[in-house]
Structure 1
Amino acid sequence: MEFRYPVAVAENNAHSLRYLTRNLSDPEAGQAAFEELLLELGNSVDVYPDWHPILTNPPQDGLRGASLQNLPAYKGMDHTVLFIKGFVTCPYDEAKADQLVNNVNAVTGLQAYRLDAVLYSDNAYPVVVQAVDVVLEGDGTIRSRDALAWCVQEMVKDAHNAEVAETWWNIRTNLLGCPHGSRSSIIVNQHTGSHIRKILEAMNNSGMYGPIKEWSLNMLSKKKRDTIAKTLIMTAIANYRDARRKFDFELCGEAIKAEVRDTWDDGTELRVVVVIGDSDLVVTGCYYPENGVLETSSPKGKRSIAEKFL
């Protein structure tokens, strides 16, 4: 589905509101507290980009790139909702809530406090955590110059140990957060997202990360990806013989390896894997001969090869 910023914001905020208030004895009071958090922290989000200060400010302890739950500074968090500037978490243990506040307030660039209002459960002890340097633009997204600077800092760190360069389509979620579209998200607008992409592609083309790894084909429409998958899987089925579980065939000038497994040994479900080269293109799927139904995964690999099968 196409990403539409106003729709995504409304849906995410509504979902988070339900999550934090549905179990309360006084949901109206919970809603009022939630609306205050929206004013303080910005809109609700699902995933932070890797460069967000909420992830990068706490000591990593060898866990660089770890999720919130795995960072020692956030030990004790439970029943958590993310917002652009920070998050609210609702542990049931008051001592853990107090310790979380102390841990976070010891980290430069972060602040935490116990929320007076009740959220998630009448028996929970909500804690608000905020990255103090995050400033929002007029559209509710992170200020462009800050987002770009934080993003570049993380990209440069990755270069030292990188083996391959990841394409924009491979790591959009890591750079934009989630939910996101092709070049923007609830966290960054199109101006910022477009510049993040340009910076990534310039770094990739410089060779600083190593050879470029193509994997995601999300730059192609779903219809095209489905066509590619169907073409390869059905051609494999057409070349399948009961006595051969693994076999090769050629199509569009490409040598293709296929494996077909009869899941239940009765011909009702065939699991298919198609691979070109050294995983230059990979497609998997299930075919049900009785009714001709085909279910496939999205193809992965190199665009130049994938487009041969359109």
Structure 2
Amino acid sequence: MAFRADESIKDGKEWAENYLLAKLTMLSEQERSESRCALLDYFIDLGPVVDSYPTWHPLISKKDNADSVTTPSMDGGYDGLDHTVYFAHGFITCPYHDGQRVIDSVENLKFNPAAHITAERLNVKFYHPDANPILVKCNWYKPLAEDGTIPLSTAIPLLLENELPHWRHAEVAETWESMRSHFLGNPHGKRSSLFVNQETGQAMKKIWEALINTGMYGPIMMRR
């Protein structure tokens, strides 16, 4: 199925609204209204709802000994996440504990030169009346592109920093087709996603193909 950004954004928004608001029937109408309004603001502030992140995204700053991860988890240094909705530039997690474990783990994340990651408690209810929502936000140092995607000048150095060290132990080189889910995040198309536009994705593809064609990762693996 072809990737259509508008449809993916619409579907993600509908899913998030149902996931975060449907169980709030025990709250007053005013409280439910406050939660709905806050969520609409987060759709604007945090970007579209996504399924997973590019491996180079600052929110996926994994531990040194961890395998490739594409969603926030213990392997990425987070603690206490539960009932989480991912956005392009942050996520909302709704644990039943007070959320301090999440906040502390975010404060202990490794430094990232492209963005500052913050965490804060929200004063509205999401997911369940007994849950305590925490907002974790990726505060980019450089402005986003006009369409809200991550610009080429940010995406390329993050991709290279993440992938170049693998030459030390790689035995084969993976093609763009096999790696684009890791590089573009999900949902995605052939050269774009909700994180990067067509221009940025095309540049990423050209650079990746230039890297694997050097032989630095070993022979190129051709999948059938």
Q: Which residue of 2 aligns with 1:126?
A: 133
Larger deviation: 33-42 or 109-118?
A: 33-42
Q: CA deviation at 1:64?
A: 4.5
Between the aligned partners of 1:147 and 1:72, the Cα distance in structure 2 is 19
2: CA distance, partners of 1:142 / 1:13: 20
- What displacement does 1:103 show? 2.0
For residues 64 and 133 of structure 2, the distance between their equivalents in structure 1, rounded to whole angstroms, comes to 26
Instruction: Kindly indicate whether the alpha-carbon contact (under 8 Å) linking 1:165 and 1:210 is maintained by their aligned counterparts in 2.
Output: yes
- Matching residue of 1:212: 220
| 2:50 aligned partner | 45
TM-score normalised by structure 2 residue count: 0.89
CA shift, 1:61, in A, is: 4.7
**d(CA) in 1 for partners of 2:123 and 2:144?**
25
What is the CA–CA distance in structure 2 between the aligned matches of 1:72 and 1:145, rounded to whole Å? 24
Task: Please report the TM-score for the alignment, with normalisation by the length of structure 1.
Answer: 0.65
The verdict on how the C-alpha distance between 1:72 and 1:158 changes in structure 2, with shifts beyond 3 A counting, is closer
**Please, which of 123, 146, 154 is the counterpart of residue 162 of structure 2?**
154
For structure 2, the residue ranges without an aligned partner over 5 or more in a row are none
Q: Is the 8 A contact 1:144 1:192 kept in 2?
A: yes
Matched, 1:87 2:91: yes
Instruction: Give the aligned partner of residue 9 of structure 2.
Output: 9
Q: Measure the CA separation in 2 of the matches of 1:206 and 1:73.
A: 33
Partners of 1:169 and 1:20 in 2: CA distance: 34
C-alpha offsets along residues 105-156 of structure 1, whole Å, 9 cap, x if unaligned?
2333311000111111111000111122264211121122101110111120
Q: Which digits, 9 at most, give the CA deviation of each residue in 1:209-246, with x for residues without a partner?
A: 1000112xxxxxxxxxxxxxxxxxxxxxxxxxxxxxxx
Larger Rg: 1
C-alpha offsets along residues 47-78 of structure 1, whole Å, 9 cap, x if unaligned? Answer: 1000000112x6x1511423422336311000
| 8 A Cα contact 1:12 1:44, kept in partner | yes
The alpha-carbon deviation at position 39 of structure 1 amounts to 2.2
Aligned: 1:32 with 2:31:
no
* Structure 1 runs not aligned, ≥5 long: 216-300, 302-310
**Structure with higher strand content:** 1
1:63-142 mapped onto 2 (5 Å cutoff): 63-66=66-69, 67-71=71-75, 73-94=77-98, 97-107=99-109, 108=111, 109-133=116-140, 135-142=143-150
Q: SS in structure 1 opposite 2:77?
A: helix
Give me the CA root mean square deviation.
1.6
Instruction: Give me the whole-angstrom Cα distance separating, in 2, the residues matched to 1:169 and 1:72.
Output: 25
Letter matched to residue 174 of structure 1: H
Residue identity opposite 1:100 in structure 2: V
- Matches of 1:72 and 1:125 in 2, distance apart? 21
SS state of the match for residue 45, structure 1?
Answer: coil
Q: Deviations over 1:152-195 (max 9, x none)?
A: 11120222211110011111110000000111001110001001
**Letter matched to residue 50 of structure 1:** T
Within 2, Cα distance between the matches of 1:117 and 1:214? 50
- Higher RCO by CA contacts (8 Å cutoff, separation 6 or greater): 2
Superposition deviation, residue 99 in structure 1 = 2.1
Q: Which amino acid aligns with 1:8?
A: S
Query: Number of residue pairs matched?
Result: 212
Q: Give runs of ≥4 in structure 1 deviating > 3 Å.
A: none
